[in-house]
């Protein structure tokens, strides 16, 4: 085999290990009995170690230097991705890879109980260990790639993304959103709040049926994925086996339904990646900014729209029964109600970025050493008070609500807000490119939009950078303008 062929074979084997890790992680979060947690942590650490050994094998350095991708742009991009992943991997010793994997698995299990009991003290030792190991990893990668520790973490979730790019965009949001939120709250205060879509309780079996029906309707391939329940909604699994989860509340169907739509957006991206390159680095999703853009586009831009409510309300009424008010305008009003709340995943699209800006500021301080884990609850509550004007009553509703830090995912949170901005920019561009898009959505036909996304985002996988994909699809670099225009249009009837 040529050096390029040897590398492709090696990375295909790494892809198989990725699938195994994904499925074992899904099982841990969905089905695994609690008593198996310690052994599962060890198993996952072993697989992470094997993956690291494969990637950093001594012969790979020479192969990466010798490989000739020829004139095929996808092969050239694939080699570039291989070199990027290899450079990150060789910077981190194998013992750190396994130690971090095991620490994260144990912290995740501890987090489950701590969150339920609202007991931050129970999580603190495990979280301190994960943070220390994550810092060690960030410093090692940063020194190898000439990046700050936090930029090294960002680059792992969105290649090429930097703190210097994010901070001014978030500053624009922090400046513009508070006065917009106050105007929207004042306007909604004067509007009718009578009526709810249906009357509780909403049987869990019917909520699940609604989720599965909508998943299939918007394009999810049910032969290549599934829906389950977990403590924290997520999308995971393996290639051609995309697993999504939600969580149900019998007294309110909207959080689970919107969670399903959010995770389905992630799944549609995974299912739309090019099969010809599915086991290679270039065939993977480009990064978490684009991934979050796909989930937020479906949940925020589409599902919460007036057009989609006209389609969804009659379907929901047929499923749940005639009790209550199932008018489209009632459903739409509920899905676009703005309120400063505690839980990020349940936040409306106006207040959502504030949750992310708070976490961005806090995690930078933790990685930089300016914020100790013991001080996290107080710092978290203070930042939420500053940005959203609410007092967090307990840690379950504050710094314990998210699984990300126990899993070592420092650097991930910014992608949520960047994804929201990208979603607005992509949807704006799709509206220009797809004739009658809103009318199609009003009939529940998302095929035209999905076709556009398949071409402009999904099919490009990791062949070019995140910013190149966004600019090629929308005609301009990523910014806050389209998102802010969308908020003004939807909630204040202001047209630029």
pLDDT band for position 232 (cuts 50, 70, 90):
confident
Q: Tell me what pLDDT residue 247 has.
A: 94
Q: Answer yes or no: is pLDDT of 193 > 80.
A: no
One-letter-per-residue 3-state SS of the chain: CCHHHHHHHHHHHHHHHHHHHHHHHHHHHHCCCHHHHHHHHHHHHHHHHHHHHHHCCHHHHHHHHHCCCCCCHHHHHHHHHHHHHHHHHHCCCHHHHHHHHHHHHHHHHHHHHHHHHCCHHHHHHHHHHHHHHHHHHHHHHHHHHCCCHHHHHHHHHCCCCCHHHHHHHHHHHHHHHHHHHHHHHHHHHCCCCCCCCCCCCCCHHHHHHHHHHHHHHHCCCHHHEEEEECCCCCEEEECCEEEEEECCCCCCCHHHHHHHHHHHHHHHHHHCCCHHHCCCHHHCCCCHHHHHHHHHHHHHHHHCCHHHHHHHHHHHHHHHCCCCCCCHHHHHHHHCCCCCCCCHHHCCCCCHHHHHHHHHHHHHHHHHCCCCHHHHHHHHHHHHHHHHCCCCCCHHHCCCCCCCCCCCCCCCCHHHHHHHHHHHHHHHHHHHHCCCHHHHHHCCCCHHHHHHHHHHCHHHCCCCCHHHHHHHHHCCCCCCHHHHHHHHHHHHCCCC
Does the global pTM surpass 0.85? yes
Residue 414 · residue 166 · CB < 8 Å? yes
Q: Tell me what pLDDT residue 191 has.
A: 78
Q: Tell me what pLDDT residue 288 has.
A: 96
Look up residue 43 and give its two tokens.
């198993």
Q: Answer yes or no: is pLDDT of 77 > 90.
A: yes
How do strand 241-246 and strand 235-238 relate by DSSP bridges? Answer: antiparallel
- The mean per-residue pLDDT over the stretch 48-69 comes to 96
Q: Answer yes or no: is pLDDT of 195 > 80.
A: no
Other Cβ atoms less than 10 A from the Cβ of 482: the count is 21
Q: Tell me what pLDDT residue 56 has.
A: 95
Task: Look up tokens 């799709």; give the residue.
Answer: 430
Classify 198 in phi/psi space as left (phi over 0), alpha (psi -120 to 50) or beta: left
pLDDT tens digits, one per residue of 141-191: 999 999 999 999 999 999 999 999 999 999 999 999 989 999 999 999 877
Look up residue 403 and give its two tokens.
């699984």
The CA distance from 62 to 9, in Å, is 15
Residue 289 · residue 161 · CB < 8 Å? yes
The CA distance from 427 to 49, in Å, is 41
- Residues 6 or more apart in contact with residue 391 via CB below 8 angstroms: 381, 385
pLDDT band for position 102 (cuts 50, 70, 90):
very high
pLDDT band for position 422 (cuts 50, 70, 90):
very high
- The mean per-residue pLDDT over the stretch 330-338 comes to 94
Q: Tell me what pLDDT residue 190 has.
A: 78
Residues designated catalytic: 263
Q: Answer yes or no: is pLDDT of 245 > 80.
A: yes
- The mean per-residue pLDDT over the stretch 117-125 comes to 98
pLDDT band for position 442 (cuts 50, 70, 90):
very high
Q: Is the peptide bond before 201 cis (omega within 30 degrees of 0)?
A: yes
Q: Answer yes or no: is pLDDT of 357 > 90.
A: yes
Q: Tell me what pLDDT residue 495 has.
A: 81
Q: Indicate the average pLDDT of the chain.
A: 95
Look up residue 427 and give its two tokens.
């949807």
């Amino acid at each position: 085999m040529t050096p390029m062929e040897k590398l492709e074979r090696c990375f295909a084997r790494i892809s198989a290990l990725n699938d195994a890790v994904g499925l074992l992680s899904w099982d841990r979060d969905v089905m695994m009995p609690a008593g198996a947690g310690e052994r599962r942590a060890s198993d996952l650490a072993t697989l992470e170690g094997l993956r690291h050994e494969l990637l950093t094998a001594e012969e790979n350095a020479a192969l990466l230097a010798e490989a000739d991708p020829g004139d095929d742009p996808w092969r050239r991009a694939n080699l570039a991705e291989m070199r990027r992943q290899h450079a990150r991997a060789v910077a981190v010793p194998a013992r750190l890879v396994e130690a971090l994997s095991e620490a994260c698995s144990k912290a995740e299990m501890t987090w489950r109980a701590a969150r339920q009991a609202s007991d931050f003290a129970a999580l603190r030792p495990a979280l301190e260990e994960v943070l220390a190991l994550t810092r060690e990893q960030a410093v090692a990668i940063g020194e190898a790639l000439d990046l700050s520790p936090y930029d090294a973490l960002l680059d792992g979730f969105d290649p090429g993304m930097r703190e210097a790019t994010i901070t001014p965009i978030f500053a624009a949001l922090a400046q513009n959103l508070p006065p917009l939120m106050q105007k929207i709250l004042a306007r909604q205060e004067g509007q009718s709040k009578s009526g709810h879509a249906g009357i509780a309780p909403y049987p869990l079996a019917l909520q699940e049926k609604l989720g599965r029906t909508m998943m299939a309707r918007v394009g999810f391939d049910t032969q290549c994925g599934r829906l389950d329940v977990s403590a924290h909604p997520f999308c995971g699994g393996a290639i051609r086996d995309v697993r999504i989860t939600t969580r149900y509340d019998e007294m309110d169907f909207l959080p689970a339904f919107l969670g399903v739509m959010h995770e389905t957006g992630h799944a549609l991206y995974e299912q739309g990646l090019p099969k010809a390159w599915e086991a290679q680095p270039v065939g993977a999703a480009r990064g978490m900014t684009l991934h979050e853009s796909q989930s937020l586009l479906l949940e925020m831009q589409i599902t919460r729209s007036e057009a989609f409510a006209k389609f969804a309300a009659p379907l929901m009424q047929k499923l749940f029964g005639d009790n209550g008010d199932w008018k489209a305008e009632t459903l739409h009003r509920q899905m676009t109600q703005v309120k400063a709340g505690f839980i990020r995943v349940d936040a409306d699209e106006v207040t959502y970025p504030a949750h992310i800006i708070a976490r961005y500021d806090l995690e930078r301080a933790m990685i930089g050493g300016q914020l100790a884990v013991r001080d996290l609850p107080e710092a978290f509550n203070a930042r939420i008070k500053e940005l959203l004007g609410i007092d967090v009553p307990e840690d379950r509703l504050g710094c314990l609500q998210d699984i990300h830090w126990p899993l070592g995912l420092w650097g991930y949170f910014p992608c949520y807000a960047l994804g929201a901005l990208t979603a607005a920019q992509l949807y704006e561009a799709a509206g220009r490119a797809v004739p009658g898009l809103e009318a199609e959505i009003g009939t529940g036909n998302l095929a035209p939009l999905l076709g556009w996304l398949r071409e402009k985002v999904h099919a490009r996988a990791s062949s070019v950078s995140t910013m190149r994909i966004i600019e090629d699809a929308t005609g301009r670099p990523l910014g806050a303008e389209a998102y802010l225009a969308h908020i003004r249009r939807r909630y204040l009837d202001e047209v630029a």
